[in-house]
Structure 1
Amino acid sequence: MFNDLESALKHFFGYDSFRAGQRKIIEEALNNQDLLVIMPTGGGKSLCFQLPALLKEGLTIVVSPLIALMKDQVDALQDNGIGATFLNSTLDYAEGRSRQEAILAGKIKLLYVAPERLLTEKFRSFLLRVANGLGLNAIAIDEAHCVSEWGHDFRPEYRQLKQLRSQFPQTPIFAFTATATKRVQDDIIQQLGLRDANVHLASFNRPNLHYEVKSKDKNSYYQLLKDIRRQSGSGIVYCLSRRRVEEIALKLKHDGIDALPYHAGLEAEVRSHNQTRFLRDDARVIVATVAFGMGINKPDVRFVFHFDLPRSLESFYQESGRAGRDGETAKSTLFFSFGDIKKVDYLIEQKPDPNEQRIARQQLNQVIDYAEGTVCRRTIILRYFGERFGGDCGRCDNCLEPKPIEDWTIEAQKFLSCMVRCRERFGMNHLIDVLRGSRNKKVQQYGHHLVSTYGIGKEKSIDEWKMLVRSLLHQGLISETNDGYRILRLNKNSWEILKKQRSVQIAVTQKKLGKGETKYSPRQAEAEILYEKLRVLRKNIADLQAVPPYVIFADSSLKLMSQLQPKNDKEFSRISGVNNHKLQQYGDKFLSIIQDFTRSQELPKPLPSKSQMATLQLHQQGLNPEEIANKRGFAMSTICTHLGDLLEMNQPVALNQLVKPERQKAIVEAIAKHGDVSLKTLRESLGKYYSYDEIKIVRGWWRSQREIF
């Protein structure tokens, strides 16, 4: 009937070409090969079993866990003129009987059923009639991760689907899911009895999603409200409990957001009504527990907010992935607090099986690692699924607003040495206890108070050590077992660190000094003080002119003024957002504030430290940064930081020997445009062919020249 698969695709579904990976999967399905297909939400999984069903003789059974999902897919197929139906508890006896007759008459190509019905004796007898008459050409199991206790939505009835293999041994079985770690993949194959299954694993990366984590406190509802008001389109807010769902939905409704609740405690009719209103854009926001979402086909969800902590990283990925299924830009925000950890931990304690508790705690810890991670969030998510990502995605909070990068090579060596001394048989918390010299019973029980690394890490807090360990994991510098115990293991990269062949750079969260206080570098603190003064001036001018403050200058312009601190009209005119008209109108006023501030901040220049002087002496002997680093046993980035600081202090460092003049010029131009506080911003502006080290060195010289002129 069809010359090729593309013709069939066009005929049944109206598409001219397949998405990545679909064609090969369909070819193997037509060859009756058992399949395991892991394809992210929106990737086109359904077509991979629907098209083969239409091209083969007989009936395809589709196992689906949700009534709403069955109806959505059947409605879409019928709208394309395709013979499809479902059998579930929403049908009365007469309707169910009528549909069975249509199946036996060969009018139906795809039958959707729930696993509970599929396993009843009565229904299996019906399937035998189908198999002996029309033929049963395939069994497609959707949301197959439900078969695995290691998955994010384990359903015990899915385990029994293996019975289908013994009852219909010649019928191929296709398993489809949006998410599955390697452990879950293996579990699916085993539990469903797949034979020589071909595994198709698409990338888990969703490049259109922007990921961010926000601290959660008593005022976070207002942050949630503000964020929703900022967003366009519809969205989902996930909460941990039914009570919280009702509370948030009611508050949003009161504040003018058309929001509806969804949870298992609502009557089925109310749940269905609320879901339908959301799918049809009659309600903008659905506030829900995890009871909502699996299989929801709404493609234009623009945001998903987790107002409470998800129970696993896999759940988080699946739920956040309900945003932007159409490939357009969408947002995922997680509100994180330590109070939520206690709530989830309490729920874990209610599980009767200790093994289930252990698995659930590992899953919770992986979520915490994501929330507290300082590297690219996309890297953390994809690493969980065994996929490598280079970082710097440009679409998460950590990449867009990077935390300061510091050299923690020595601390990493201490931690790795402790792993060696403890024979790679323990997890993060125990190793930190050893490093910090804890006297708890477990440390003494194993004799770890006697190892050479005991107490050598007292200068760092527990949170700082955890920050380092998470960064080591995310960068692939150590490994971790995936059996629920989270034992840390050394790998090839770890040994390179121990042998001083590799340095360790980590993004460092600013340390809290007390309630409401944060530790900044002196230059950052200075820039923030000036920024506030400039904001006051801007507000005063705006009030006099009866206009919003941003009409005068954008925040970004004020930030550049506070960082670059221009001294004259020429420098002021280079600030982004300043044109000749604004220079004439406001230049004198803003320059006056900046100059008064810089005069008040003038302090004697600091003297080089002992370590900086040692670097300077070796530099003056003609050694290059790499040779100095090798001689001193430091990372090269540390030596370049020394050289940049020395230049800023007007010490005799030969800049032209370190950075070529033409490269200096480009870096200085970038600093003039973007400011000198964020190395990350400067690197992004200059491109990957400029290193952080040379930017640091030139920045030090630039700062010294600003003081002279």
Structure 2
Amino acid sequence: MDNLHDMLHQKLKEYFGFAAFKGNQEAVIRNVLAGRDTFVLMPTGGGKSLCYQLPALLMEGVAIVISPLIALMKNQVDAMRTFSQHEGIAHFLNSSLNKSAINQVREDVLAGKTKLLYFAPESLTKEENISFLRKIKISFYAIDEAHCISEWGHDFRPEYRRIRPIMNDIGRAPLIALTATATPKVQLDIQKNLGMLDAAVFKSSFNRPNLFYEIRPKIDVAREIIKYIKQNEGKSGIIYCLSRKKVEELAELLVANGIKALPYHAGMDAATRARNQDAFLMEEADVIVATIAFGMGIDKPDVRFVIHYDIPKSLEGYYQETGRAGRDGGEGRCITFYSYKDIQKLEKFMQGKPIAEQEIGKLLLMETVSYAESSMCRRKTLLHYFGEEYGEDNCGSCDNCVNPRPKVKAREETLVMLEALKAIGPKFKMDYLVNVLVGRTTAMIKSYGHNESEWFGAGSNHDDRFWGAVIRQALILGLVDKNIENYGLLSVNDAGEKYLEKPYDIYITLDHDYDGEEGEDAAAPAGGRGEGVADAELFAMLKDLRKKVAKQHGLPPFVVFQDPSLEDMSIQYPVTIEEMQNITGVGAGKARKFGAEFVKLIKRYVEEKDIVRPQDMVVKSVVNKSGNKVFVIQSIDRKMDFEDIARARDLDFDELLTEIEAIVNSGTKLNINYYIEQTIDEDKAEEIYLYFKEDAESDSVDEAIRELGSDFTEEEVRLVRIKFICEQGN
């Protein structure tokens, strides 16, 4: 046994230059050498590929490696060739090779020079490849990125499900399947599909202690990102966006702000993509802005931050993408901007897909929502999702542990929840149970008759967010199970039964509400973010000044400057009218009209307090290429119908109004009377106008509707508010 140990260490040094194995590597390799099926769960950066590369070099025959990505194969083959005297040691066969290259590969394999042969699953199914493989001795099959087999995985590929029948067709050999992310559900799915339920399973911990996880509300994102990167000058980072369009826009904006950034997405031609990726690896660029097409097999060890502009579709995706930070064990910050609106957008995207796929997609999204909104330790939640217990109460490196929210006792509520779940039985998901508890009659609840249950509405004194937190805590404490086979169905387990007999105190922390206003009047921006929190003392002084200026002009304060503008002033400290124009929501017009006194006050404050101003923090905007702003202003001058303006610019009505509000709030005067006269009843318009002039405390549309009554629509209020700001403020 020890001879094998010595031999493996010697070969590890000789071929790969490492002095020792990491984690489970040696145990896995021994299992493969013994000819047994092996299943490896190992987080990104844990050294998965070594688990099949080393045994392949030691065993008789050729190892067949199935991998989903051409770029990844090429990377690995190049790496293997550097360890060996002859080129033929590793090859790949895929669609990128021409006839003569394919013949060269086959010659090397038949001559016994090749130890590793890489395939994409699509090429494996080709008849000529199957008949070729039947002629050679196969040492074992390795299936990399095995989560692609499962439709529950974040990267499902139907052709992966055909691998087993093809292997049977070519000839039996031991099997090693490897993945960097798999929930218990996905793991079972992979093992079933590959017919390897009795394989030895090697699971490494999924905890990445050096990563800091943080979720922020999606407010002013581009600016938050620029601020963060400027504060971390020269560090490498990846920013993920969902759409190609957003990737291009954001990359351009970063460049305009003096950041070395490049875009990367599947719509770019291969040469540009490769060039940008190399520039990032060679550190000619600091930041890559990418869709998830980027990063598969990018082994850059010193990525210091991964920012998600849009939240990923699943927690596996999130784990995989955040996992590209800090692979060298150094600092890695993972910041995600979250808004529930994005989730609704993702649900919309799914609408064309088969129903089964939509169901799966929705459940994976709900897990993501649950993770984002929960104020429990992020690490605990994430590891629990991957079937791993995390013992610590405070991980010390996620936003929820560093800024914990107050805990609330929930012993009675946990009992109510467990009783209700027992009463309805183990056939329902979390949102159904919440609806029963708060007493919300849905069609589904009616059809099961649970609106008649004694537990219906038993928790109506709390809201959905509260019950979500109770159920999540019960899942983490192991009182409730989530069914693996029928994903997402909840049931009370033995520990839950015991709890009902002998309850103890349970504490929960209430979920975040990233879309609501946390603390309406707080001086800090919503969500109390770490850096860049407004200077509370200055903010209060600016509010007083705004009141005074508003009074002099006989205007409501919000017409002078809106709260976000004051907040921004107390972060940026503008001391000239020119700087004032760079503040959120303040354009040249407003700066000239109201800016002087504010600038004077800030200047005095900065001098008294000896404040170092973050002047490099001015976010330059890219000249809006689509020219929306100019187009909108010209169209309104020409009295064009709003619906036509929106259509011409491919905006929906809501987006057009937001665009107009931005133009008006920064001091440009527009006359939209012609449109208001066409669409809003004269008395109604008059009433809204008076409300803003006489009664409004703030420019909030919701507040206006509460005061005015429900027969006023949001659109009517917004339109008249625009008119009001133009006439009174600009």
Q: In the alignment, does 2:120 pair up with 1:118?
A: no
- The count of aligned residue pairs is 538
Q: Which residue of 2 aligns with 1:65?
A: 68
Alignment check: 8 A CA contact 1:512 1:519 kept? no
Deviation at 1:308, TM superposition (A): 0.8
Please give the alpha-carbon distance, in whole angstroms, between the structure 2 residues aligned to 1:292 and 1:267: 14
Q: Match for 1:224: what amino acid?
A: I
Q: 2:392 aligned with 1:386, yes or no?
A: no
Task: Pick from 287, 290, 295 the counterpart of residue 289 of structure 2.
Answer: 287
- Determine if contact 2:373/2:513 at 8 Å carries over to the other structure: no
Amino acid at match of 1:342: Q
The one of 80, 92, 101 aligned to 2:107: 101
- Cα deviation 1:365-412 (Å, max 9, x = unaligned): 100111011111011111111110124111111111111111122222
- Assess, with a 3 A threshold, how the Cα gap between structure 1 residues 7 and 535 changes in structure 2: closer, same or farther: farther
AA paired with 2:133?
Answer: L
Query: Conserved in 2, the CA contact under 8 Å of 1:301 and 1:323?
Result: yes
- Pick from 318, 321, 327 the counterpart of residue 319 of structure 1: 321
For the 8 Å contact 1:511–1:519, the answer to whether it is kept is no
Paired residue secondary structure (1:517): coil
Q: CA offsets, 1:19-61, max 9 Å, x none?
A: 1111111111111111111111111111111111111122112
Q: C-alpha root-mean-square deviation of aligned residues, in Å?
A: 2.9
Deviation, 1:437, is 2.8
2:415 matched to 1:413?
yes
Show the counterpart of 1:15. 18
Aligned with residue 510 of structure 2, among 492, 508, 530: 508
1:285 CA drift (Å): 1.5
Query: Which residue among 514, 529, 548 is the counterpart of 2:612?
Result: 548
**What's 2:38 paired with?**
35
Tell me how far 1:118 sits from its aligned partner: 1.7
C-alpha spacing 1:475/1:373, structure 2 compared with 1 (3 Å):
farther
Q: Is the 8 A contact 1:511 1:518 kept in 2?
A: no
Cα distance between partner residues in 1 of 2:353 and 2:215: 28
Does residue 48 (structure 1) correspond to residue 112 (structure 2)? The answer is: no
Partner of 2:537 in structure 1?
A: 532
What is the deviation of 1:533? Answer: 7.6
What do residues 621-643 of structure 1 show as CA deviations (whole Å, max 9, x unaligned)?
xxxxxxxxxxxxxxxxxxxxxxx
Which digits, 9 at most, give the CA deviation of each residue in 1:442-462, with x for residues without a partner?
334333333222333222222
2:239 to 221, 230, 237: 237
Who is 1:429 aligned against? 431
Q: 1:499 to 1:324 in 2, by over 3 A?
A: same
Deviations 1:612-662 (A, max 9, x none): xxxxxxxxxxxxxxxxxxxxxxxxxxxxxxxxxxxxxxxxxxxxxxxxxxx
Relative to 1, partners in 2 of residues 1:440 and 1:42: Cα closer, same or farther, differing over 3 Å?
Answer: closer
Cα deviation 1:552-574 (Å, max 9, x = unaligned): xxxxxxxxxxxxxxxxxxxxxxx
Q: Deviations over 1:80-138 (max 9, x none)?
A: 22622222233322223223222222222212221111221111222223x1xxx2212
Any idea what the Cα deviations from partners look like across 1:270-329, whole Å, max 9, x if unmatched?
222222222222222222222222222222211111111211111111111111122222
Match of 2:94 among 76, 88, 91: 88
- C-alpha separation between the residues in 2 aligned to 1:543 and 1:28? 70
Residues 557-606 of structure 1: CA distance to partner in whole angstroms, max 9, x if unpaired? Answer: xxxxxxxxxxxxxxxxxxxxxxxxxxxxxxxxxxxxxxxxxxxxxxxxxx
Paired with 1:454 and 1:334, the residues of 2 have a C-alpha distance of: 36
Task: Report the Cα offset of residue 181 of structure 1.
Answer: 1.8
* 1:181–1:430 CA distance, 2 compared to 1 (3 A): closer
**Contact 1:233/1:301 (CA < 8 Å) preserved in 2?**
yes
Q: Within 5 Å, which residues of 2 pair with 1:268-279?
A: 268-279=270-281
SS for the counterpart of 1:449 is helix
CA distance in structure 2 between the aligned counterparts of 1:505 and 1:164, rounded to whole angstroms: 52
Task: Please state whether the residue corresponding to 2:452 is helix, strand or coil.
Answer: coil
Question: What are the Cα deviations for residues 460-511 of structure 1, in whole angstroms up to 9, with x where unaligned?
Answer: 2222222332333233332222456622211244334433521120112478
- Compute the TM-score of the two structures, normalised by the length of structure 1: 0.71
Any idea what the Cα deviations from partners look like across 1:155-179, whole Å, max 9, x if unmatched? 1111111134313443212111111
Kindly provide the CA deviation profile for residues 226-257 of structure 1, in whole angstroms up to 9, marking residues without a partner as x. Answer: 22223352121111122222222222222222
Report the AA paired with residue 61 of structure 1.
I
Q: CA separation in 2, counterparts of 1:41 and 1:529? A: 38
Aligned mates of 1:209, 1:118 — CA distance in 2: 38
**Cα gap change, 1:360 to 1:511, in 2 (>3 Å):** closer
In the alignment, structure 1 segments of 5+ residues that lack a partner are 551-709
Structure 1: how far apart are the matches of 2:63 and 2:426? 50
Contact 2:130 2:170 in 1 (8 A): no
SS at match of 2:451: coil
Instruction: Give the Cα–Cα distance (whole angstroms) in 1 for the partners of residues 213 and 514 of structure 2.
Output: 24
Mark the CA change 1:103 to 1:278 in structure 2 (over 3 Å): closer, same or farther.
same
Task: State the Cα distance separating 1:335 from its structure 2 match.
Answer: 0.9
Q: Contact 2:183–2:386 (CA<8 Å) still a contact in 1?
A: yes
Please give the residue correspondences for 1:128-167 in structure 2 after superposition, counting only pairs within 5 Å: 128-129=134-135, 131=136, 135-167=137-169
Question: Secondary structure of the equivalent of 2:450?
Answer: coil
Give 1:539 deviation, angstroms: 9.3
SS in 2 for 1:333: strand
CA distance in 2, matches of 1:155, 1:441: 35
Task: Report matched runs for 1:548-567 at 5 Å.
Answer: 548=612
| Equivalent AA in structure 1 for residue 80 of structure 2 | L
Query: In 2, Cα distance between the equivalents of 1:513 and 1:195?
Result: 44
> Deviation of residue 514 (structure 1)?
7.5
Structure 2: where are the runs of 5+ without partners?
523-527, 542-600, 615-730
Distance 1:251 1:121 in 2: 49
CA change 1:204–1:516 in 2 (3 A) is: closer
Q: 1:258 to 1:215 in 2, by over 3 A?
A: same
Q: Using the alignment, how far apart are the partners of 1:532 and 1:498 within structure 2?
A: 50
**Structure 2 equivalent of residue 196 of structure 1:** 198
Q: 1:228 maps to what in 2?
A: 229
CA contact (8 A) 1:497 1:504 kept: no
Secondary structure class of the residue paired with 1:45: coil
Please say if residues 434 and 467 of structure 2, whose CA atoms lie closer than 8 Å, have aligned partners that are also in contact.
yes
The 2-side partners of 1:413 and 1:154 are apart by 39
Aligned to 1:477: 479
Shift of 1:187: 1.8
Distance 2:610 2:402 in 1: 34
1:56 to 1:513, Cα distance in 2 relative to 1, 3 A: closer
Q: 1:516 to 1:96 in 2, by over 3 A?
A: same
Letter in 2 for 1:389: Y
Distance 1:371 1:10, change over 3 A: same
Deviations 1:198-243 (A, max 9, x none): 11111111111111111113x1111122222233521211111222
Structure 2 distance, partners of 1:397, 1:309, is 16
Task: Look up the match of 1:363.
Answer: 364
Amino acid aligned to 1:358: E
Change (3 A) 1:481 1:104: same
Residue 24 of structure 1 corresponds to 27
- Contact kept, 8 Å, 1:312 with 1:363, in 2: the verdict is yes
Aligned counterpart in structure 2 of residue 491 of structure 1, from 483, 490, 493 = 493
Letter in 1 for 2:99: Y
Question: Identity over the aligned pairs, expressed in percent?
Answer: 44
Please say if 1:349 is aligned against 2:351.
Answer: yes
Cα distance in structure 2, aligned partners of 1:418 and 1:451: 9
Residue aligning to 2:689: none
| Distance in 1 separating the partners of 2:426 and 2:194 | 35
Distance 1:501 1:107, change over 3 A: same
Paired position in structure 1 for 2:579: none
1:656-671 equivalences under 5 Å are none
